């Protein structure tokens, strides 16, 4: 553990140019946060998504009220009408909701469009997970988004693969083993200014003291957290129906397809160009809340 953190800390210290670029990127791409107030508890909300390849019916989860109510709001405003499924990766997922895709020219790169706000993560694991047909929120990466906040509009539907127990065991080990590294990165993000200052002063003694403090705090925090584990139910679903289990607890799952999975599979099978955008546009005609 000490060796890992020592290496990571000094790698950070001597990569000031990369960090500066990452900070600049964050200023350019990070979205202002909007508080999405959950409405009163409601009956199950069903969404009908009509696409150029067919209609898909989706159930939104009440246990993720911020994502549910935001999706309902955008649907009622007609936001999703005429947007594209701009990113399709077979045996993985189909992604849409980029506002820039409404007027996109052929071959235009998409995926960076924003409604101007993000939504706090709502992980409800192990109840909801990345099984085939799951609806989840896209987001920017951990480097610029350590809280894993969701895009205000972009979403994806999981197609995924069938996996084995060995695959799931490896994911468990990876996620559990990555906990300390994740906590370390959080410490680095929280102390960037101090680390930069010590590096500028060439103060190795203070950097070493900071490293030792990180180690002590991380070990204490990690000891309080249970290792990542899939339930037996999840294992059975992933082994028979499939999904993307490595995304669990990384992106918010807030609904699932209840009808029209064949349409999702049809969309997933279209030919794509480099960058994963379909060669022929797949359009969302409308998204409606079913009463």
Assigned CATH for 52-162+241-290? 2.40.100.10
Q: What pLDDT is stored for residue 44 in this prediction? A: 87
Q: Which helix (H) or strand (E) holds 220?
A: helix 204-223
- Give the confidence band of 211 by pLDDT, cuts at 50, 70, 90: confident
Q: Give the pair of three-digit tokens for residue 158.
A: 């999981």
> What mean pLDDT comes out for the span 9-34?
36
Q: Give the pair of three-digit tokens for residue 9.
A: 């800390």
Nearest to 189 by CA among 251, 234, 244, 141: 141
Number of H helices, E strands in the chain: 8, 10
Cβ 40 vs Cβ 254: under 8 Å: no
DSSP, collapsed to helix, strand or coil, labels residue 226 as coil
Interval 139-187: pLDDT, tens? 999 889 989 999 999 999 999 999 999 999 999 988 876 666 767 777 8
Interval 72-110: pLDDT, tens? 999 999 999 999 999 999 999 999 999 999 999 999 999
Domain boundaries of the chain, sorted by first residue? 2-29+166-223, 52-162+241-290
Alpha carbon distance 147, 222 (integer Å): 17
Query: Tokens 């289990």 label which residue?
Result: 245
pTM for the model = 0.76
């Amino acid at each position: 553990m000490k060796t890992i953190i020592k290496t990571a800390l000094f790698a950070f210290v001597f990569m000031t140019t990369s960090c500066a670029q990452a900070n600049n990127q964050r200023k350019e791409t990070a979205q202002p946060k909007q508080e999405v107030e959950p409405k009163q508890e409601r009956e199950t909300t069903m969404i009908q998504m009509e696409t150029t390849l067919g209609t898909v019916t989706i159930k939104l989860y009440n246990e993720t009220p911020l994502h549910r109510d935001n999706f309902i709001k955008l649907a009622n405003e007609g936001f999703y009408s005429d947007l594209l499924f701009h990113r399709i990766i077979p045996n993985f997922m189909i992604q849409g909701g980029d506002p820039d895709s409404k007027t996109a020219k052929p071959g235009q790169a998409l995926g960076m469009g924003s409604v101007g706000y993000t939504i706090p993560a709502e992980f409800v694991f192990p109840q909801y997970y990345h099984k085939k047909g799951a609806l989840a929120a896209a987001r920017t990466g951990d480097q610029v988004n350590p809280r894993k906040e969701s895009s205000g509009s972009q979403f994806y539907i999981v197609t995924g693969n069938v996996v084995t127990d060995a695959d799931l065991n490896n994911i468990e080990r990876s996620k559990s083993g990555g906990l300390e590294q994740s906590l370390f990165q959080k410490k680095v993000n929280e102390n960037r200014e101090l680390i930069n200052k010590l590096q500028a002063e060439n103060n190795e003694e203070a950097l070493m003291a900071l490293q030792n403090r990180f180690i002590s705090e991380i070990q204490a925090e990690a000891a309080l957290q249970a290792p990542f584990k899939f339930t037996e139910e999840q294992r059975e679903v992933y082994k028979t129906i499939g999904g993307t289990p490595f995304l669990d607890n990384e992106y918010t799952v807030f609904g699932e397809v209840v009808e029209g999975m064949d349409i999702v599979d049809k969309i997933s099978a279209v030919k794509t160009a480099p960058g994963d955008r379909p060669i022929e546009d797949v359009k969302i005609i409308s998204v409606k809340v079913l009463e």
